[in-house]
């Protein structure tokens, strides 16, 4: 790495900030008319009792009934989040103190339409987000709003089995249009769905679908639900642009940059295929059409998508303005002669011997971020936005209220360095929102103890604690990063 390379700065106006999701942050799950959402049904189960089952990603209809009936002694951490609902002013003031230019939030569908089917939105829910947005704007923090982040009214799961049913498109659009009408003068940046590709991994989290209720194969349903979300997303782009000509509306994926396990051509080909499955989502949303490799895949695997005649044109005419993605790790592609399917289930069992992993086993690969940025930009020539990245770790609150999270600073520093290199390579990067700038409930494990924040929240996995906020060492570090526009790391 030459000196000249590392000295490159980020563009003026670069959007530094943090990213959150309503269901992991807000709490107040039944306040002011809010309905129950799919994420309110994710219990915390200690690792030793899980038996390999992951409740966040895998809830069946029997469990759902049990959780809804309340006859259970398990704890549901996402119902309480970290009480941002009541503490948003304090939290936003701390984000402002770090100099945030942007905050990614999502809006809980169930605060606005408790069951998803009401004709009239819940005013108290809309008023809450008005207050949050006003507070952000008061501090000159630009909101970036994810319309749907891993949750939906549980009623829609019960009645329609979520996105398996095409009627979800209109229900989603009613929700999206309500947000556009209400917040059009306050929000410029929007994302239609969080990590859309993860529906292949979890039908429940990504699609509100109960696997034991589906009729066809899991893959068939996953791709049919994906198609419904593509149409819904494109229609949201269409009406969003009509209502807000200056809005920027993006798609989002969990980017899994994939390396070949070896130089063996079969491994390289397998890697290409896995990469294509990952890029299927921006392929449709940014280019506006189903790629031929997916059409071949559907044909060879007996997947038949039901499309309405107008769907292709809707998708073609309403592509996104930017591609947002989360980046946590890289994967390995390895050819397996016993498996001739290309499942696209995003599971890499092969370990990369060159990388360290986090406490939760996620490979740490800063250089992979530079590769991901370059590859995406080479392919789409469209502005990119890193809307999630960060280190989930166990933190220790010292007696004096300090938290020495040098490991987090090190992780982020190394990733931002590579981001800076990618910008110097010519990548058009709009911004960087670090995941969970304040500790929130983990998406995948519903733990509190998997912390990403610059701000520590006093709460444990069982929900005990004062909820008091403390500044970690990374707080001042990130402040300086933003102040220097990424020059001082
Ligand atoms: C992404 C999700 C987030 C999130 C993050 C970290 O996949 O979009 O909601 O929480 O991953 O994952 P976790 O919280 O499981 O560590």
Rounded Cα gap, residues 248 and 72, in angstroms: 44
Burial of 446 (0-12, 13-18, 19+ CB in 10 A): buried
Q: Give pLDDT tens digits for 73-132.
A: 889 999 999 999 999 999 999 999 999 999 999 999 999 999 999 999 999 999 999 999
**Length of the chain measured in residues:** 489
Instruction: Determine, yes or no, domain membership for 280.
Output: yes
Q: Closest ligand 1 atom to the C-alpha of 198?
A: 7
Q: Give pLDDT tens digits for 53-86.
A: 666 777 899 999 999 998 778 899 999 999 999 9
State how far the alpha carbon of 236 is from the alpha carbons of 30, 346, 382, in Å.
27, 27, 19
Instruction: Determine, yes or no, domain membership for 489.
Output: no
| Average pLDDT value for residue range 357-378 | 97
Percent of the chain's residues with pLDDT above 70: 95
Active-site option among 26, 142, 274, 388: 388
Residue 416: the pLDDT is 98
Residue in 24, 420, 433 with CA at minimum distance from that of residue 189? 433
Let me know: does 442 contact 81? Beta carbons within 8 Å.
no
**Domain span at 395:** 3-483
CATH number reported for the structural domain that contains residue 81 in this entry: 3.20.20.80
Residue 9: the pLDDT is 82
Total number of domains in the chain: 1
Q: Pull the structure tokens for residue 33.
A: 């008319």
Residue 437: the pLDDT is 98
Residue 408 has pLDDT above 50, yes or no: yes
Instruction: Determine, yes or no, domain membership for 458.
Output: yes
Q: How far is the CA of 340 from the centre of ligand 1 (A)?
A: 30
Instruction: Determine, yes or no, domain membership for 488.
Output: no
Rounded Cα gap, residues 219 and 83, in angstroms: 37
Q: If you take atom 9 of ligand 1, which residue's CA is the nearest one?
A: 443
Instruction: Determine, yes or no, domain membership for 353.
Output: yes
State how far the alpha carbon of 392 is from the alpha carbons of 16, 186, 300, 382, in Å.
19, 31, 39, 29
Query: Residue 50: which pLDDT band, with cuts at 50, 70 and 90?
Result: confident
pTM of the model: 0.96
Instruction: Determine, yes or no, domain membership for 372.
Output: yes
Residue 350: the pLDDT is 84
State how far the alpha carbon of 123 is from the alpha carbons of 34, 36, 118, 120, in Å.
10, 17, 12, 9
Q: Give pLDDT tens digits for 202-220.
A: 999 999 999 999 988 999 9
Pocket test for ligand 1, best of 78, 361, 435 (most atoms within 8 A of CB): 435
Numbers of helices and strands, H then E, in the chain: 17, 12
Let me know: does 120 contact 37? Beta carbons within 8 Å.
no
Residue 344: the pLDDT is 46
Q: If you take atom 4 of ligand 1, which residue's CA is the nearest one?
A: 443
Residue 312: the pLDDT is 98
Residue in 151, 160, 176, 311 with CA at minimum distance from that of residue 221? 160
* Ligand 1 pocket at CB < 6 A: 21, 24, 150, 194-195, 254, 326, 388, 392, 435, 442-445, 450
Q: Give pLDDT tens digits for 297-324.
A: 999 999 999 999 999 999 999 999 999 9
Let me know: does 474 contact 467? Beta carbons within 8 Å.
no
Q: Closest ligand 1 atom to the C-alpha of 56?
A: 15
Residue 1 has pLDDT above 50, yes or no: no
Q: Report strand pairing: 384-388 vs 455-457.
A: unpaired
Q: How far is the CA of 451 from the centre of ligand 1 (A)?
A: 11
Residue 4: the pLDDT is 47
Q: How far is the CA of 445 from the centre of ligand 1 (A)?
A: 9
| Average pLDDT value for residue range 11-37 | 98
Q: How far is the CA of 59 from the centre of ligand 1 (A)?
A: 18
180 compared with 216, residue with greater pLDDT: 180
388 in catalytic set: yes
Residue 346: the pLDDT is 45
CB atoms within 10 A of CB 264: 12
């Amino acid at each position: 790495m030459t000196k000249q390379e590392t000295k490159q700065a980020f563009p003026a106006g670069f959007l530094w900030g943090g990213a959150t999701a309503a269901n992991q942050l807000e709490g107040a799950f039944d306040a002011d008319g809010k309905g129950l959402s799919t994420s309110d049904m994710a219990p915390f189960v200690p690792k030793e009792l899980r038996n390999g089952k992951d409740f966040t990603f895998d809830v069946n209809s029997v469990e759902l009934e049990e959780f809804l009936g309340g006859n259970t002694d398990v704890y549901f951490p996402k119902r309480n989040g970290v009480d941002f609902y009541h503490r948003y002013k304090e939290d936003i003031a701390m984000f402002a103190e770090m100099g945030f230019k942007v905050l990614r939030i999502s809006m809980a569908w169930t605060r606005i339409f408790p069951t998803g089917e009401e004709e009239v939105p819940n005013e108290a829910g809309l008023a809450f987000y008005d207050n949050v947005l006003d507070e952000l704007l008061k501090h000159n923090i630009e909101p970036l709003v994810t319309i749907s982040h891993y949750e939906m009214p549980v009623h829609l799961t019960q009645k329609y089995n979520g996105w398996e049913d095409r009627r979800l498109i209109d229900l989603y659009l009613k929700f999206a249009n309500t947000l556009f009408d209400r917040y059009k003068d306050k929000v410029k940046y929007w994302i239609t769905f969080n990590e859309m590709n993860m529906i292949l991994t979890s039908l429940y989290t990504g699609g509100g679908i109960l696997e034991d209720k589906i009729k066809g194969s899991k893959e068939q349903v996953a791709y049919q639900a994906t198609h419904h979300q593509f149409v819904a997303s494109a229609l949201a782009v269409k009406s969003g642009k009509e209502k807000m000509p200056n809005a920027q509306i993006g798609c989002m994926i969990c980017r899994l940059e994939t390396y070949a396990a070896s130089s063996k051509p079969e491994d390289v080909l397998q890697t290409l295929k896995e990469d294509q499955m990952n890029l299927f989502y921006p392929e449709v949303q940014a280019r506006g059409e189903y790629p031929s490799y997916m059409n071949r895949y559907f044909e060879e695997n007996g997947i038949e998508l039901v499309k309405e005649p107008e769907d292709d044109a809707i998708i073609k005419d309403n592509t996104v303005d930017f591609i947002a993605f989360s980046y946590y790790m890289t994967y390995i592609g390895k050819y397996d002669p016993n498996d001739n399917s290309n499942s696209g289930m995003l599971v890499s069992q092969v370990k990369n011997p060159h990388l360290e992993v986090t406490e939760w086993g996620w490979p740490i690969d800063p250089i992979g971020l530079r590769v991901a940025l370059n590859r995406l930009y080479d392919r789409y020539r469209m502005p990119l936005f890193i809307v999630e990245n960060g280190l989930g770790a166990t933190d220790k609150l010292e007696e004096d209220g300090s938290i020495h999270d040098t490991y987090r600073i090190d992780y982020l520093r190394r990733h931002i360095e590579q981001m800076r290199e990618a910008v110097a390579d010519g990548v058009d990067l709009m911004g960087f929102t670090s995941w969970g700038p304040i500790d929130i409930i983990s998406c995948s494990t519903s733990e509190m103890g998997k912390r990403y924040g610059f701000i520590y929240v006093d709460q444990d996995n069982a929900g005990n604690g004062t909820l008091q906020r403390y500044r970690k060492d990374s707080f001042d570090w990130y402040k300086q990063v933003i102040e220097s526009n990424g020059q001082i790391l």
